[in-house]
Amino acid sequence: MPPIRVLIVDDSAVIRKLLSDVLTSDPEIEVAGTAANGNLALASIPLVKPDLVTLDIEMPGMDGLVTVAEIRKLNSKLPIIMFSTLTERGASATLDALARGASDYVTKPTQSASAAVARERIREELIPKIKSLCPTRASHAAPVLAPTKAMPRVRNRVDIVAFGTSTGGPNALLEVIPKFPASFPIPIVIVQHMPAVFTRLLASRLDKLGRLAVHEGEEGRSLQSGQIWIAPGNYHMTVARHGPEVVLALNQEPPEHCCRPAVDVLFRSVAKTYGANALAVVLTGMGADGTRGARVIREAGGEVFVQDEASSVVWGMPGSVVEAGQADRICPLASIGGEVVRRVTSSRMAHAARVPQER
């Protein structure tokens, strides 16, 4: 199988050399070319025909944001990974780039990091994302749990919705969250694989866009109807019952699937706290985080919806859930919000109708 051809775009010669050295160390990847700015990148794409572009955000002249938009005019499918700084400005620009069509991002190592540490960071973060975004060129797929037999499902009342997502998730959430009405009767909790600064800014953007209040998770906060909580970067987020209330808890226990926050951690706590009254939704993302948690939720009697392959940036996480036999429904992104609202509304109407009969 031919290697994945990558075009590196960065105004720093040091960074171009660093990325080139790291990527060419992997036999499944080759550097198709490099460019020092957006204009050169646009000229290079038709010539070198890359399978993927890595793109710096801050460049003189045509910066990364403009370059993303221009690339999308030429090619709507070419994967683009942004190379951003782990700062508030870098996080904000990265979210802007994702909104303009970038596929994913990698944060630059800090200036204090040694060359060896910088290379290892890039190797661990960038190479898996390249292979995930170019699956037809990569030689391996994410491992999945063995399928289990589908069992008849009882449609219980839904008291919480838990989302898990990664690559492509910010844009997916920007499409799904506005579908929830101001009268939505239950809380929503979300794990999006992102660093701390990024999750705070994502929560702020979602809060301004939708009708429900969106916050970054806080220790001890009580879950209320119509609230959305996003796990803060570098912290696992869980839910637990304290007397009559369900509250959030944060911890820095070891990462799972190399992630903190991890979807499996949240899903397990949701299953333990809400049992059969939980609905989990797994959106686009690389890897298999969420599959084991989905199984725990279904074993407790809850349900699991997943995003379909056609509308996913990467069908790793939702695809893993499907292959493990843990998906109750597979939906295109455009319909997920509406499907969740209908499921929650109908479940609670059915429960309300049963209560007088039971009395």
Burial classification of residue 115, based on how many CB atoms lie within 10 Å of its CB (0-12 exposed, 13-18 middle, 19 or more buried): exposed
CA distance 225 to 210: 15
For residue 267, give the nearest of 284, 246, 290 by alpha carbon: 290
Active-site choice (193, 257, 311, 347): 193
Note if 193 is an active site residue: yes
Q: Does the annotation count 225 as an active-site position?
A: no
Q: Are 264 and 271 in contact (CB under 8 A)?
A: no
* Residue 285 β-bridge partners: 315
What whole-number distance in Å separates Cα of residue 223 and Cα of residue 7? 46
21 is catalytic: no
**Which one from 103, 132, 166, 269 is the annotated catalytic residue?**
166
Parallel, antiparallel, or unpaired for β 245-251 and 236-242? Answer: antiparallel
Beta-bridge mates of residue 303: 279
Instruction: Output the six-digit token pair for 137.
Output: 């060129």
Question: Of residues 11, 159, 289, 328, which has the active-site annotation?
Answer: 289
Handedness of CA 270, 276, 277, 280 (dihedral sign): positive
Just list the catalytic residues. 166, 193, 289
